[in-house]
């Protein structure tokens, strides 16, 4: 229940902060020199409840507290209490066992509501796992990482901080280069337009992320490649590679472009590339990059 007591001319000396409810320990929640505001539970502060004619009534009073209604004799001794100089009765009525019918109608929107533009940062990371369990990862200070030729490399790309289940992380392109510069050549494409490079199908493998592993599986992609080196004209160019990826964040309901890319059948294709990768003992596009990976 809430009530507002206002200072009146008949009680010019009234100080609103000194007003109380029947229970004099219940004082205003707020007051100034003009009014006092009370807010209290219906079963507290001396509130009474009565039933009559199908109505339930809660009632309380706002009065002067702390004996301000008592008079004093000529000797200065307090006499019997007088009626309060200020009294406001507060009542709330509720109909018992009554059903109210409310009529309403709907009006279709002329236009769909537009979402408000927000600002923030989303962080995407590319990490190299120690093994296929994806439980431990190489830290920045662990690079360069040394791996044997054809040994598996397990990569994980994850969207951090977001809790939106409607966002899906998509790997648009992933490739390897000899140099740290992601635009340098030669390069070898591993993932192209969201799909495994057909020429590389038997070496690049996507690993599914199950709901039981992470809170938002759609925020993560995992894939595996075999350690390789670049060769040109039968000569190994260098014993190192860098891996780079372009990641795209999609709405789960988006059905165009890279967000709903359908990959073709995994049939290896032959091309005339002069620079190729060698995965045997013989010679044979958020922007993310790993550190240097060397082969032993």
Transcribe 75-136 into DSSP letters: TS-EEEEPPPS-EEEEEEEEESS------------SSPPPPPP-----EEEEEEESSTT-S-
Residue 115 lies in a domain: no
**What is the span of the domain harbouring residue 70?**
2-95
* Range name among 20-34, 74-88, 98-112 with the lowest pLDDT average: 74-88
Spatial separation of the C-alpha atoms in residues 28 and 90, rounded to whole Å = 14
Q: How confident is the model at residue 38, as a pLDDT?
A: 94
Residue 187 is part of a domain; what is its CATH number? 2.60.40.4100
As a whole-number percent, the residues of the chain with pLDDT over 70 amount to: 82
Q: Which of 45, 76, 95 is the last residue of a domain?
A: 95
Q: What is the mean pLDDT of residues 251-262?
A: 74
Q: Same domain for 133 and 279?
A: yes
Q: Same domain for 57 and 160?
A: no
Q: Same domain for 74 and 181?
A: no
pLDDT band at 245 (very low <50, low <70, confident <90, very high): very high
Spatial separation of the C-alpha atoms in residues 277 and 178, rounded to whole Å = 11
Q: Which of 49, 75, 95 is the last residue of a domain?
A: 95
Q: Same domain for 131 and 90?
A: no
Half-sphere exposure of 52 (CA within 13 A, CB side): 4
Chain centroid offset of residue 262 CA: 30
Q: Same domain for 217 and 158?
A: yes
The pLDDT tens digits of the residues spanning 48-88 come to: 999 988 899 999 999 986 544 444 444 444 444 456 678 88
Residue 42 lies in a domain: yes
Q: Same domain for 154 and 224?
A: yes
pLDDT higher than threshold 70 for residue 117: no
pLDDT band at 102 (very low <50, low <70, confident <90, very high): confident
Residue 58 is part of a domain; what is its CATH number? 2.60.40.3210
199, two tokens: 């020429």
Q: Same domain for 70 and 132?
A: no
Spatial separation of the C-alpha atoms in residues 61 and 43, rounded to whole Å = 14
Q: Same domain for 151 and 282?
A: yes
Residue 107 lies in a domain: no
Q: Same domain for 69 and 129?
A: no
Q: Same domain for 72 and 165?
A: no
Q: What is the mean pLDDT of the chain?
A: 81
Residue 233 lies in a domain: yes
Q: Which of 55, 76, 95 is the last residue of a domain?
A: 95
pLDDT band at 91 (very low <50, low <70, confident <90, very high): very high
Phi and psi for 179 in degrees, rounded to 5?
-115, 165
Q: Same domain for 60 and 155?
A: no
Q: Same domain for 91 and 127?
A: no
* Range name among 5-19, 246-260, 274-288 with the lowest pLDDT average: 274-288
Q: How confident is the model at residue 261, as a pLDDT?
A: 67
Residue 280 lies in a domain: yes
pLDDT higher than threshold 50 for residue 109: yes
Helix (H, G, I), strand (E, B) or coil at 221: strand
Torsion sign, CA atoms 124, 126, 132, 137: negative
Note the pTM of the prediction, 2 decimals.
Answer: 0.56
Q: How many domains in the chain?
A: 2
| Inter-residue contact 147 to 234 (CB < 8 Å) | no
């Amino acid at each position: 229940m809430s009530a507002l007591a206002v200072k009146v001319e008949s009680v010019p000396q009234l100080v609103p902060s000194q007003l109380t409810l029947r229970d004099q320990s219940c004082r205003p929640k707020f007051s100034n020199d003009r009014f006092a505001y009370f807010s209290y539970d219906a079963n507290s502060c001396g509130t009474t409840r009565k039933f009559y004619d199908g109505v339930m009534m809660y009632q309380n009073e706002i009065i002067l507290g702390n004996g301000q209604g008592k008079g004093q004799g000529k000797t200065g001794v307090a006499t019997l209490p007088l009626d309060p100089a200020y009294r406001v009765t507060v009542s709330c009525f509720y109909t018992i066992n009554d059903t109210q019918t409310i009529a309403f109608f709907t009006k279709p929107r002329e236009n769909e509501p537009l979402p408000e533009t927000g600002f923030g940062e989303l962080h995407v990371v590319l990490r190299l796992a120690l093994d296929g369990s994806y439980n431990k990862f190489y830290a920045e200070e662990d690079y360069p990482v040394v791996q044997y030729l054809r040994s598996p490399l397990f990569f994980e790309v994850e969207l951090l901080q977001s809790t939106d289940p409607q966002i899906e992380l998509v790997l648009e392109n992933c490739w390897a280069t000899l140099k740290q510069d992601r635009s340098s050549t030669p390069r070898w494409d591993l993932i192209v337009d969201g799909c495994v490079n057909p020429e590389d199908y038997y070496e690049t493998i996507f690993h599914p992320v199950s709901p039981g592993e992470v809170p938002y599986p759609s925020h993560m992609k995992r894939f595996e490649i075999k350690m390789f080196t670049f060769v040109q004209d039968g000569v190994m160019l260098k014993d190192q590679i860098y891996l780079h990826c372009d990641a795209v964040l999609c709405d789960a309901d988006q059905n165009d472009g890279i967000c709903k890319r359908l990959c073709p059948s995994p049939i290896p294709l032959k091309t005339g590339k002069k620079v190729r990768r060698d995965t045997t003992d013989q010679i044979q596009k958020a922007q993310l990059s790993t550190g240097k990976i060397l082969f032993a």
